[in-house]
């Protein structure tokens, strides 16, 4: 199989699998006081320190969760509840129109069940939220805003947002800023020091990351929470994780997460350059085979040191073809990709991300995402290029069957 869906999940790294196996084979609840419990606690705390070091955060800032979706829910619900309790007028939530469903569905629930007033921040044709857009939304009534959330990099088209600038705007108005960095962590230098959190300025107050996007196991993630930021917990129980996230700690998952993140970040500049070169080759050759194919999102070439697009992302529209048909025809040839976020797969509706970027319904339904990762090689691009022409030709005919 040719796997081109790393944005959905990437294969576990050997280092992560070894850590998962080693820690999973040892008994001990990290909250227990006996020797086995203390051993488990040491594994958890050492893993926390590793992740904090990679992120430029303090270990106490890292709260382990069950994954990216839980972290997003905890950040948005926790901040909204805490801010509203302290200041009842703070009912507005500002999020970008291109967020992952873990954010959009969370704020929709807060609107329907908790009286939140949700406002979607517009994006440009590349999927970028401009700081002046956030500034205008906040300036209308800053004292009514509970939280702002804009993802670090888009999960479908790969556009990288100006996170530090957006956080700066939010902070000037006294509003906490959350970012879903699930796609960015491990592909870009997602370090809180780089965004200024060391001084408390122009940085996310809460950052979502997930293990299985960097080569760790499914079922473990983290929310990096600035110390002093008050969140109401989603779950209540034993008071683990600073009483923000109660529940028995996933010792083996934490160890595997730390191992995967270390491997992903160890050679990040070199690996990002390798993936970007593979991606550029993929786009160039696919567009040569299918001249009408359109690249969505930010341009491939960005300013030095400030990429506008994830290095492993190639999101293309093939006019006249249904994306689902293309996906299944490629799958029949052993090439795996997606029509967008895996969490929305199988849902018969066009991509909300592309629609927010100004694309037509037809354009949005004719798109595929090819995403590269640590196991991707030139042979994967070769396989796609060989197949794409005949697949598009077949899919463009009426009544395509697989």
Residue 375 C-alpha from the chain's centroid: 19
Q: Answer yes or no: is pLDDT of 123 > 70.
A: yes
* Under 8 Å between Cβ of 63 and 226: no
Name the residue among 344, 346, 399, 339 with its Cα closest to residue 370: 339
Dist. CA 90–CA 141, nearest whole Å:
10
Pair 223, 257: CB distance under 8 Å: no
Mean pLDDT of 137-155: 97
**Count of Cβ atoms closer than 10 Å to residue 328 Cβ:** 15
* Alpha-carbon span 15 to 18, nearest angstrom: 5
Tokens 């709260």: give the residue: 63
Question: Which pLDDT score is estimated for 304?
Answer: 57
Please tell me the predicted confidence (pLDDT) of residue 349.
78
Q: Which residues pair with 316 in a beta bridge?
A: 295, 368
> Confidence class of residue 199 from pLDDT cuts 50, 70 and 90?
very low
**13/10 Cα distance (integer angstroms):** 9
- pTM of this prediction? 0.93
User: Is 343 among the catalytic positions?
Assistant: yes
Count CB atoms within 10 A of the CB of residue 62: 23
Place of tokens 């992120």: 55
C-alpha distances in Å from residue 103, one per residue of 134, 249, 373: 17, 24, 24
C-alpha distances out from residue 388 to 81, 90, 197, 290, 379, Å? 49, 50, 45, 8, 14
| 9-20 confidence digits (pLDDT tens) | 999 999 999 999
Report the Cα 156 to chain-centroid distance in Å: 10
335-336/2-3 β-pairing: parallel
CA distance 183 to 163: 14
Alpha helices in 115-192 (DSSP H): 131-139, 163-172
- The closest of 306, 344, 330, 333 to 395, measured between CA atoms, is 330
Report the alpha-carbon distance of residue 175 to residue 166 in Å, rounded. 11
Local confidence band at 193 (pLDDT 50, 70, 90 cut-offs): low
Q: What is the DSSP string of 64-75?
A: EESSHHHHHHHH
- Residue 343: pLDDT band with limits 50, 70, 90: low
User: Are 244 and 287 spatial neighbours (Cβ–Cβ below 8 Å)?
Assistant: no
Q: How far apart are CA 33 and CA 17, in angstroms?
A: 27
Report pLDDT digits (tens) over 54-101.
999 999 999 999 999 999 999 999 999 999 999 999 999 999 999 999
Exposure string over 344-354, b if 16+ CB within 10 A, otherwise e: beeeeebbbbb
CATH class as words, domain 2-10+268-395 = alpha beta
Which among 135-149, 195-209, 237-251, 340-354 has the top mean pLDDT?
A: 135-149
Q: Supply the mean pLDDT for the chain.
A: 93
Per-residue pLDDT, 346: 53
Instruction: Examine the pLDDT at 399 and tell me if it is beyond 80.
Output: no
pLDDT band for position 266 (50/70/90)? very high
Residue position matching structure tokens 């996906």: 327
Q: N- to C-terminal Cα distance for the chain?
A: 18
What the block records as the tokens of 209 is 């990351």
Cα separation, 206 vs 227, in Å, equals 10
Three-state DSSP state, 371: strand
Residue percentage of the chain with pLDDT more than 70: 93
What is the band of 402 on the pLDDT scale with cuts at 50, 70, 90? very low
Candidate from 36-50, 230-244, 259-273, 347-361 with smallest mean pLDDT: 347-361
Q: Which fold has domain 14-264?
A: 3.40.640
* Residue 401 confidence class, pLDDT cut points 50, 70, 90: very low
Burial (Cβ within 10 Å: 0-12, 13-18, ≥19) of residue 298: buried
At 203 the pLDDT is 76
Domain ranges of the chain: 2-10+268-395, 14-264
In the predicted model, is pLDDT for residue 398 greater than 70?
A: no
Sign of the dihedral through C-alpha 22, 272, 281, 351: positive
Q: Cβ distance 388 to 342 under 8 Å?
A: no
| Active-site residue, selected from the candidate residues 265, 321, 337, 343 | 343
pLDDT digit string, tens, across residues 296-314: 999 987 655 566 999 999 9
Helices of type H across 151-198: 163-172
């Amino acid at each position: 199989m040719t796997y081109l869906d790393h944005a959905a999940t990437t294969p576990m790294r050997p280092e992560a699998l070894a850590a998962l196996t080693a820690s999973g084979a040892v008994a001990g609840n990290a909250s227990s006081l006996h020797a086995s419990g203390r051993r488990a606690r040491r594994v958890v705390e050492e893993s926390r320190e590793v992740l904090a070091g990679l992120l430029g955060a303090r270990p106490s800032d890292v709260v382990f969760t069950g994954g990216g979706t839980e972290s997003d829910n905890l950040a948005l619900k926790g901040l909204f509840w805490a801010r509203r309790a302290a200041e009842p007028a703070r009912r507005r939530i500002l999020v970008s129109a291109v967020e992952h469903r873990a954010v959009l569905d969370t704020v929709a629930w807060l609107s329907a069940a908790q009286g939140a007033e949700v406002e979607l921040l517009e994006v440009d044709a590349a999927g970028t939220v401009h700081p002046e857009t956030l500034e205008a939304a906040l300036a209308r009534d800053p004292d009514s805003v509970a939280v702002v959330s804009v993802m670090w990099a888009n999960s479908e088209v790969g556009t990288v947002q100006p996170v530090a600038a957006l956080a700066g705007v939010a902070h000037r108005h006294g509003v906490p800023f959350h970012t879903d960095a699930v796609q960015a962590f491990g592909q870009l230098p997602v370090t809180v020091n780089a965004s200024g959190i060391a001084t408390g300025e122009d940085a996310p107050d809460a950052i979502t990351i997930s293990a299985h996007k960097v080569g760790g196991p499914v079922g473990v993630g983290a929310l990096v929470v600035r110390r002093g930021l008050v969140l109401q917990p989603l779950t209540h129980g034993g008071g683990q994780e600073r009483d923000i996230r109660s529940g028995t700690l996933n010792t083996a998952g934490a160890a595997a997460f730390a191992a995967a993140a270390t491997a992903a970040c160890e050679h990040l500049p070199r690996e990002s350059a390798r993936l970007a070169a593979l991606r550029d080759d993929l786009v160039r050759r696919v567009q040569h085979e299918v001249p009408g194919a359109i690249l969505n999102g930010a341009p491939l070439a960005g300013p030095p040191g400030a990429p506008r697009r994830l290095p492993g992302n190639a999101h293309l529209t093939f006019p006249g073809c249904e994306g689902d048909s293309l996906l299944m025809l490629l799958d029949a040839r052993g090439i795996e990709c997606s029509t967008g976020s895996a969490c929305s797969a199988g849902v018969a509706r066009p991509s909300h991300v592309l629609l927010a970027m100004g694309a037509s319904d037809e354009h949005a339904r004719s798109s595929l995402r090819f995403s590269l990762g640590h196991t991707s090689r030139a042979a994967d691009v070769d396989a796609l290029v060989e197949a794409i022409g005949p697949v598009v030709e077949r899919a463009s005919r009426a009544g395509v069957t697989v």
